Each structure stands twice: as C-alpha cells, then as structure tokens.
C-alpha cells in the first residue's frame, strides 16, 4: 500500500485527488491514450481504488468534465459593484483564461465529439443556459425568445473565438476581448457603455451589477 493510501484521505478528498490527476492525464494524452493504471500510479494509489470511485474510464472522464463545467461557471460568475461593461470584460477574461488552461479532451466540453457526447452536450447546454440568464439579468433586457437567441448567438461566437485564440497562440487576449465586445453590440444591438449610463441615470444610488 502506498503512503498516499496509508494516509486514508476522506472519501471526498480522495475523489478530488483522483479527478485532479485524471484531468492532467486526459489533457496531456487524450481520452483513448489515458490509462487508469497510470492515473492510479500518479495518484499514489492502486488501480482498484480508482475503480472503487469510478467504475470505468468514461465515468471518470464524465466526472472530470462536470467539474470543469462547474469551475467555469464559478470563474465567470457575476460580481457586485461593477458596471455592465466591466462585468462583461471580467467574465470574458475569466473565460479566455480558463479555456486556454484546458487542453486535449477537456476541450470537448466546448466542442462535443465522440468522447462522452451525451454528457458533454448536457454540461455545455446547462452552462450555456446559465450564461444566457446572467446576460439577461446583467443587461436588464426583457426575457424573450429573440433576446435569448441574440445572447446565445453571441456566446457561440465567444466559444469559437476562445478556441481559435487558444489553438493559434498568436492572438493577443485584449484583441480577442475587443472583438467579442464589438460582436456583442452588433449581435444584440446593445451598447454596454450606454447600458452603464442608463443604470447610472435611472438608479444613481443603486449598486450596479
């Protein structure tokens, strides 16, 4: 028994440890080449213990992707006391940073393929819905099919831009940010600066988003 197993981590801590190691392996080697044995070895535990928490490799990948999705939502969550334009900029920067730090099959969360397609689509759709709700709340727009369509289209562009920037490696983050904000205004008809002024004029003493 390894020292790591001998420490007898609480079940939740052990599960998180396995997910951390597995995320690195999936990102580095891809789903097909990742090995449960090597994941166990790097975690300092037996393969049997990995299978105790995750019955197979697909279940392990599913758990990694679900955690990845939750981490992304937390990273882009709204913060009080900022303007609409500042909130958009902060969320975009957090998204770009998170996306750039992901690699290999972890990016299947944003571009579903044959690896765990049902789970990937479920996570992506759920996260997308949360982001649309956040945009509606942040901009004060009426919740309508056309509003949701406009925000959804913009989010799709942001995902494509983030993927392209990460893959090319030659595009400055600030340049991508400016491009996304320009497309935001074009696709939604909303000017973040005008929204900031509207909130300040209508509710001068009210804390902004």
Q: Which is more confidently placed, 105 or 170? A: 170
Cβ-count burial of 144 within 10 angstroms (0-12 exposed, 13-18 middle, 19+ buried)?
exposed
Which pTM does this prediction carry? 0.78
Give 208's pLDDT tier (boundaries 50, 70, 90).
very low
A 10 A CB-CB count for 65 gives 23
pLDDT digits (tens, 9 = 90+) for 23-48: 889 878 878 888 999 999 999 999 99
The mean per-residue pLDDT over the stretch 2-14 comes to 71
Asked if residue 206 has pLDDT above 50, the reply is no
The mean per-residue pLDDT over the stretch 113-123 comes to 67
Residue 35 has, within 13 A of its CA and on its CB side, a CA count of 6
Q: How far is CA 130 from CA 73, 134, 152, 172, in A?
A: 8, 6, 11, 27
């Amino acid at each position: 028994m390894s020292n790591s197993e001998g420490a007898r981590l609480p079940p939740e801590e052990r599960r998180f440890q396995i997910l951390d190691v597995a995320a690195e392996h999936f990102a580095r080697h891809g789903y097909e080449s990742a090995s449960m044995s090597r994941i166990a070895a790097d975690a300092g535990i037996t393969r049997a213990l990995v299978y105790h928490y995750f019955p197979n490799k697909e279940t392990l990948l599913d758990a990694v992707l679900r955690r990845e999705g939750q981490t992304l939502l937390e990273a882009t969550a709204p913060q009080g006391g900022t303007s609409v334009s500042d909130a958009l900029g902060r969320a975009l920067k957090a998204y770009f940073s998170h996306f750039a730090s992901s690699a290999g099959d972890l990016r299947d969360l944003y571009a579903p393929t044959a690896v765990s397609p049902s789970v990937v689509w479920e996570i992506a759709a759920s996260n997308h819905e949360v982001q649309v709700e956040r945009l509606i709340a942040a901009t004060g727009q009426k919740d309508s099919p056309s509003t949701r369509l406009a925000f959804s289209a913009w989010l799709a562009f942001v995902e494509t831009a983030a993927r392209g920037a990460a893959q090319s490696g030659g595009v400055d983050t600030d340049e991508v940010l400016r491009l996304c904000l320009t497309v935001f205004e074009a696709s939604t008809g909303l000017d973040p600066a005008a929204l900031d002024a509207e909130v300040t004029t209508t509710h001068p003493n009210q804390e902004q988003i």
